[in-house]
Structure 1
């Protein structure tokens, strides 16, 4: 609900503060008093496209602040969450227009883009009038309006889910087809590379082992003589033999040494063990250095083959085994491609069947809802003195999509037998107003929480018809909020809250202001609307009768 509107230096408004209420809020005033400026200012803060020059002459900038009250389930909260804005019970929109044309907007003191304002405006305010191209006159919105009227949200969600699944299945099939085409283009390379890798069969860590073996064999001749000398020095003819002799001599003298040789004997024993282990290690190395020159050639050939394949495929030598496994996997995918494509085609066909069934069920539900809406609108047209008019909701085929396969257009004929056409093109000004009002009365339950604005929707009607318009506007406002700009006293009399827009001249400047109409002031304003500038007692009595009726 719109709670307040503050306007500063916009067009011919210098300063204006309005506090709106639930129910039917009526704005009246003479032509040119500035009623449209209020709507222009509200549209500005909501991000609507409007006049290019809005700043009051002589002012540095114009500013509009709109305050809305949000219920816990208001759809504006979802827009705020999506935009990362604070979600509060009171929503304050503020927008500034500088004299050089720059526009800046804030939502709850957070800077936002015009796009965020427009997203919020879609769920905060509806504007209806004879020039309305954002609401009921927009054929693009008719399908959504019909679905909301028929409470078809669950069916639409089923169609949307089926469409998403169908899109995913088609995407998977297209990706598989592209992958198969790429594999077929590389098939010759894949088969040759796999055969080459399988023939070599490189193993992780093998390159390091081969390189170490090769270097050892290459250096064997240079180190073998020194290692043999070391073996001789450690063996029985060297350190081990001398240590053994020393151990025997000391053990023979130990009985007479009163224990003084025990530690020495033990140490020599340990040394003999270590000397034996060292000698064995040296001998193992000597055995390893005994190689056939053909073996060196074989090691080098395999090492160079592994390194060559690694360079060829741009991978590390240790990664060749994993690379080969990946290529085998691609070949396997290529070989089983026909079976995979048949499975994917079957999945797409099943998704198309499910989508078709969901979309057809939605189409049938729309047809039933359209019949009910047609009857409801025609019933509303009779009190509006259009009992001979015909309203039809036309459903045609459209390209399948997330919202189904239907195109919905509201069509009217002003008289039986006359050709029907789109709502905006067939009806005259007054007829169009009544069509829109009848539609809105029927659809009102679909826009809970939205402030509805009717801009001179009663133009071209009067008398009992205008009274019927007023009653339906009051009906729409019950439990919600409706703002109506009107020249009709019958409509103004139905208002729960009434404001008069006036112009005043200060010096050489014309300014617009708004006054709340209460009590006698309100009676006089409705009387003025009935009789003109000269308000007679009869006009006042007629105004009071309208207000009481």
Structure 2
């Protein structure tokens, strides 16, 4: 709900602060007094174009601030603020401020935090509806008619949305499987060859390192084989060092007791024999490990080269060939069983489509029923608004399958026929200015308490009518104001008399500067203004008496 509007230096308005309340508020004034400036200022705060022509002559910038009371949590407004990182204290009003500089450029703020004009427009969709004779949004936009009908009928679209999501996911899975299957079919010959080749080769993880180390060991063994044999001969041969040490030990054993030093010599030779034998064992072990086998070396080299060649061919590391073989084998297996998999996915997609169609058909029938009720509700409002010759209908037509969506399979549009026998057509194209305004009012009354913005503004909806029709318009605006805040710019005394609050828009001139101002009227001032609306420039006693009679129902 709009609670306040502060305007600084906008066209003829120098400084203006207005407070608003629930119910029906009326704004009146002579033609040219500046009523449109107020709407232009509010439109600026709601994301309208920041034209430099809005800046008052001689001012550096124009500033408009609008405040609203909105739900704290769970609303579309709260979600928009959260998405855009706009902080808000619970219970505090939503403040929207827009600045337009005289030399060009504009800035916007939401709760004193910088924001884009786009965000203001998004917020405005949930804050204010402005209806005038040339309004091309809201009820005149056929794109919103389906949602309005669903809200009016309290229809459950969530089930259709869920069914559409499951159908979409099933179709995506099927399409992905088809693409994979088609790609695999194109590569079947290569795939079969690659799997056969890798299966025959049977690569193992870590095989490259194992082959490379064994090959390098045999190559080193080939180079030092003669040296190892020479060491073995020197240590263990018939004339080698160990044989000579054992011979010396046997001689010392016979004479070791003859002198202490001989015993120590024998002990030293025994130790030498033990160390030499250990050395011989190590040399023999190394010779065995580095044993050069020309056949094995050739086989290891051949497999190593083939392993690396396969890795280059498939653009992977040698150690990744084993995993690649498993992957390609799995692809080939899926290709072989792909027909069965595709059949299962096609069945799942068909079942999901059938479930969506069933839910959409159920919603279609519910929309037909809701449309019948809405048409009757609107029809009951037309005669009092002097539209008794006109007809209203809500068309619910099936869409082509390619256009089915999460909102169902229907196209919904509000249509009218203004004269008997004339064809139905869109609201904006068929109705004249005055008729269009009254049709909008009839629709808004029928759709009351069915959702939408909490502030409704009607700009001269009563233009071109008077008497009983104007009274009917006022009565319906008053009824509409029971469930939403309604502001109306009017020239009709019958409409103005229905308001809960009355503001007079007037232009003044001090001889140098022309200004537009807005004054809240008390009961006496209000009677005088309505009398002026009834009689014109000269207010007569008869006009004052008539104004009093008009105001009596609203003053009780």
Number of residue-to-residue matches in the alignment: 539
Q: Could you tell me which residue of structure 2 aligns to residue 172 of structure 1?
A: 173
- The answer to whether the aligner puts 1:119 opposite 2:122 as a matched pair is yes
Question: Over residues 359-415 of structure 1, what are the superposed CA-to-partner deviations in whole Å (9 max), with x where a residue is unaligned?
Answer: 100100000001111111112223333344322111112232221111112122334
- The answer to whether the aligner puts 1:58 opposite 2:58 as a matched pair is yes
Q: Could you tell me which residue of structure 2 aligns to residue 11 of structure 1?
A: 11
Stretch of structure 1 that moved more, 434-443 or 67-76: 67-76
**In structure 1, which of residues 462, 470, 476 is the aligned counterpart of residue 474 of structure 2?**
470
Deviation at 1:222, TM superposition (A): 2.4
Q: Could you tell me which residue of structure 2 aligns to residue 410 of structure 1?
A: 414
Q: After superposition, where does 1:265-276 map in structure 2 within 5 Å?
A: none
- The answer to whether the aligner puts 1:435 opposite 2:436 as a matched pair is no
- Mapped to 1, the partners of 2:281 and 2:52 lie a distance apart of 100
Q: Could you tell me which residue of structure 1 aligns to residue 381 of structure 2?
A: 380
Q: After superposition, where does 1:169-208 map in structure 2 within 5 Å?
A: 169-208=170-209
Q: Could you tell me which residue of structure 2 aligns to residue 445 of structure 1?
A: 449
- Mapped to 2, the partners of 1:248 and 1:39 lie a distance apart of 130
The answer (yes or no) to whether the contact 1:81–1:87 under 8 Å persists in 2 is no
SS of 2:67's partner is strand
Question: Over residues 480-522 of structure 1, what are the superposed CA-to-partner deviations in whole Å (9 max), with x where a residue is unaligned?
Answer: 3111111111111111111111112244432211111112111
- Mapped to 2, the partners of 1:166 and 1:104 lie a distance apart of 44
Q: 1:545 to 1:279 in 2, by over 3 A?
A: farther
SS of 2:448's partner is helix
Deviation at 1:416, TM superposition (A): 4.1
Q: Could you tell me which residue of structure 1 aligns to residue 320 of structure 2?
A: 319
SS of 2:387's partner is coil
Q: 1:246 to 1:118 in 2, by over 3 A?
A: farther
Q: 1:34 to 1:291 in 2, by over 3 A?
A: same
Q: After superposition, where does 1:85-234 map in structure 2 within 5 Å?
A: 85-88=86-89, 89-152=92-155, 154=156, 156-231=157-232
- Mapped to 1, the partners of 2:50 and 2:493 lie a distance apart of 29
Q: Could you tell me which residue of structure 2 aligns to residue 2 of structure 1?
A: 2
Q: 1:244 to 1:393 in 2, by over 3 A?
A: farther
CA RMSD between the two structures = 2.9
Deviation at 1:275, TM superposition (A): 6.9
The answer (yes or no) to whether the contact 2:390–2:416 under 8 Å persists in 1 is yes
Stretch of structure 1 that moved more, 238-247 or 59-68: 238-247
Taking structure 2 as the reference length, what is the TM-score of the superposition? 0.89
Q: After superposition, where does 1:34-49 map in structure 2 within 5 Å?
A: 34-49=34-49
Question: Over residues 93-131 of structure 1, what are the superposed CA-to-partner deviations in whole Å (9 max), with x where a residue is unaligned?
Answer: 111112233122111122222221111011111111221
Deviation at 1:239, TM superposition (A): 6.8
The answer (yes or no) to whether the contact 1:143–1:409 under 8 Å persists in 2 is yes
Q: 1:386 to 1:213 in 2, by over 3 A?
A: same
Question: Over residues 161-208 of structure 1, what are the superposed CA-to-partner deviations in whole Å (9 max), with x where a residue is unaligned?
Answer: 111222222222222222222222222222222222122212111111
SS of 1:514's partner is strand
Deviation at 1:448, TM superposition (A): 5.5
Q: 1:272 to 1:206 in 2, by over 3 A?
A: farther
Stretch of structure 1 that moved more, 486-495 or 409-418: 409-418
Taking structure 1 as the reference length, what is the TM-score of the superposition? 0.90
The answer (yes or no) to whether the contact 2:28–2:491 under 8 Å persists in 1 is yes
Question: Over residues 216-245 of structure 1, what are the superposed CA-to-partner deviations in whole Å (9 max), with x where a residue is unaligned?
Answer: 222223222333455567769657996999
Deviation at 1:279, TM superposition (A): 4.3
Q: After superposition, where does 1:339-358 map in structure 2 within 5 Å?
A: 339-358=340-359
Deviation at 1:337, TM superposition (A): 1.8
The answer (yes or no) to whether the contact 2:52–2:100 under 8 Å persists in 1 is no
SS of 1:401's partner is coil
Q: 1:202 to 1:420 in 2, by over 3 A?
A: closer
The answer (yes or no) to whether the contact 1:94–1:106 under 8 Å persists in 2 is yes
SS of 2:410's partner is strand
- The answer to whether the aligner puts 1:332 opposite 2:337 as a matched pair is no
- Mapped to 2, the partners of 1:503 and 1:487 lie a distance apart of 16
